[in-house]
Amino acid sequence: MHEVGIIQSAVEAAQDSAKASGATEIHVLRLRVGALTGVVPDALEFAFEVVRSGTMAASATLEIENVPASFWCGGCQAEFLPPELSYVCPKCGRQDVELRHGLELEVASLEIS
């Protein structure tokens, strides 16, 4: 169910925010999806077609921003994008690096009226 559940939660969260701002329709739904979440954007779009009917986002456009994975090296005080998931800072070779991005799963913004 993964993507269906995710998009349902996203539409629900979007509706709550839109209603709270007094809107009646969502025209654009923008999501941010990290590369490491295992969530497949194509599957999200497909699921959106199924889930949107009867909601405030019934005729909305879905825009997905893919967030690539990145790590943080405490030694260099810098972020780096791993060529593959190597867990090693390419500058100083340090291994105790921190996962910074790639786990995002959020409703970024909406166009409403």
Partner 1 sequence: MCKECGCGIVGEVNIAGKPSRQVPSPLVNGGSSHAHSHVEPHDHPHPHSHDHDHGHPHEHPHAPATQTLEVHQAILAKNDRQAERNRGFFKAKGLLVLNVVSSPGSGKTTLIQKTISMLAGRLRAGVIVGDLATDNDAARLRSAGCPVVQITTGTVCHLEADMVARAAGQLDLGALDLLVIENVGNLVCPATYDLGEDLRVVLLAVTEGEDKPLKYPPMFHSAEVALLNKMDLAAATEFDRATALENLRRASPHATIFEVSGRTGQGLGAWCDFLVEKHRTQKA
By CB under 8 A, name the binding residues for partner 1: 1-6, 8-15, 17-19, 21, 23-25, 27-28, 31, 36-38, 40, 43, 46-47, 51, 53-56, 58-59, 69, 85-88, 95-96, 99, 102-103, 105-113
**Closer by beta carbon to Zn ion, 2 or else 19:** 2
Distance between CA 7 and CA 107 in Å, rounded? 10
Could you tell me the sign of the dihedral formed by the alpha carbons of 40, 34, 30, 4, in that order?
positive
Distance in Å, CB of 22 to partner 1, minimum: 10
Tokens 């913004």 correspond to 109
Nearer to partner 1, 17 or 90 (CB): 17
Residue ranges in the chain assigned as alpha helix (H) = 2-20, 41-51
> With CB cut-offs between 5 and 8 Å by kind, which of Zn ion, partner 1, none does residue 25 bind?
partner 1
